[in-house]
Structure 1
């Protein structure tokens, strides 16, 4: 297992280096001039040039890149020009909000998509199978921002069931003492059930928005994988041996069909990390996605580069976790598999 982890980490190094180079070059190619943006519309060309020199934007690109690599080696992602705070501090502060939203959405999607896919495969051609197709088609077709706006319109504006989409907590509540950064967990640690309910209420609509997007590929892959396994010879042999249908489906079929689902789960999680950017803007969620969008609009290089680097490292960690899960689910999966 340690050899597998070492191999995957070594293979990820060129990809991370490529992300660093591409992100640096693309951020410099963005339209707009950060110096002109922060100098203001009434600034003179001389004032803009002074700000550009202060920010180091007047130097050759290769010098800026060398300085950027040196800062990365020291763990310094630079300072945000919009907030004046270190980018690393901003990311560490905002990452739990994005992680809590994404993980809850993924849990909801798995709890809905996997049973739905299994039932659709077992009862092929039934109303459950048709329902699965409708749900997956809707999940793939509807953009996340449209789904979010639709849920806000129905459940907040029309029905009044949901709290206002204004962040992680209602204005009448104060955040719990920081332990993990996850409000649901921290409120339980503080034994504040009212705060837990308030935080969960704020999470329901944005998490549901992401879950609708995530459950479509999960349900489709679960159904396809289960259909392939259910048509196998060993499943027919198990049925001929008189085993109960529940035992055949859960113990034999699903266990052999779960590996493609795990692969899809990792891909969906990486998609959610990108999709939550729009969802965070719709629901005023103070995560790293909304932070990156605001910095992108302001042509603030450092936060954009820090955001992309964070996503790249999370993606590498996720792939590594999937490889480890392969070995746990099926020990026959070797390093070369």
Structure 2
């Protein structure tokens, strides 16, 4: 297992190097001049050139790249021109908000999608099978930002059941002492149950928005994988041996059907990292997605580069976790690694 983990980490290094190069080149190719943006519309050409020189944009592209990679090697992601703060510190403070939202959305979708897919596979043609198909079709068809806007309109504007989508906590509650950065956990550690309820209420709609988006592929893959396994020879043998239907499904079929589902979970999580950007803007969520969008609008290169690199590292770590889960579920993976 350790050998497999080492190989995966070694193979991830070229990918991260490629992400750094591509991100650097793409940000430089974007339209707009950061120096002109921050100098203002009334600035003279000399003032713009002075700002460009101060930012180092007057240097050759290759020199800018080596300077950027040297800073990365020392853990320096640069400084945001819009906020004046180090990008690494901004990402570190905002990452827990994005992680809490994404993980809760994924957890909600897993809790709903996997049982729904299993029930649909064990009862083909039933009402729950049709419900699974309708739900997955709706989840694939609806854009994530549209789903969020509809939920806000219905549950906040029309029914008044949800609080105003203005961040992680209601304005009447103070931020809990930072332990994990996850407000649901930190409020419980601080025994501030009113703040916990406020944090949970603020999380429900954005998490459900992400869950609807990610529920469809998980449920469809679970149903398809379970149908394939239930039609296999070893399941028919287990049934012929007199085992109970529940034991056949849980012990034999479900475990063997989980490998493709886990692969789907890794892809869904990567999709959620992208969809999280739109959800954060809809719900005014102070995560790294909204931070990157604001920086992109302002042609602020450093936060965008830091955001993309952070997403790449998270994706590499996610794939490593998936490989470890493969080894737990199927010992043959450990032997091959």
The TM-score normalised by the length of structure 1 is: 0.99
2:242 matched to which residue of 1?
A: 242
Matches within 5 A, 1:1-337: 1-334=1-334, 336=336
1:209-261 superposed Cα distances (whole Å, 9 cap, x missing partner): 00001110000000000000000111111112221111111111001101111
Aligned pairs, number: 337
8 Å contact kept, 1:280–1:289: yes
Structure 1 unaligned segments of length 5 or more: list them.
none
* Cα distance in 1 for residues equivalent to 2:116 and 2:198: 29
* Cα distance in 2 for residues equivalent to 1:240 and 1:255: 19
Range moving further from structure 2, 21-30 or 234-243: 234-243
* Cα distance in 2 for residues equivalent to 1:226 and 1:134: 18
Structure 2 unaligned segments of length 5 or more: list them.
none
RMSD: 0.8
Q: CA deviation at 1:329?
A: 1.2
SS at match of 2:151: helix
* Cα distance in 2 for residues equivalent to 1:134 and 1:166: 32
8 Å contact kept, 1:144–1:279: yes
SS at match of 1:209: helix
SS at match of 2:275: helix
Q: CA deviation at 1:335?
A: 5.6
* Cα distance in 1 for residues equivalent to 2:168 and 2:33: 33
* Cα distance in 2 for residues equivalent to 1:26 and 1:285: 26
Extract structure 1 runs of 4+ deviating beyond 4 A.
Answer: none
8 Å contact kept, 1:4–1:335: no
Q: CA deviation at 1:105?
A: 0.3
Q: CA deviation at 1:334?
A: 3.3
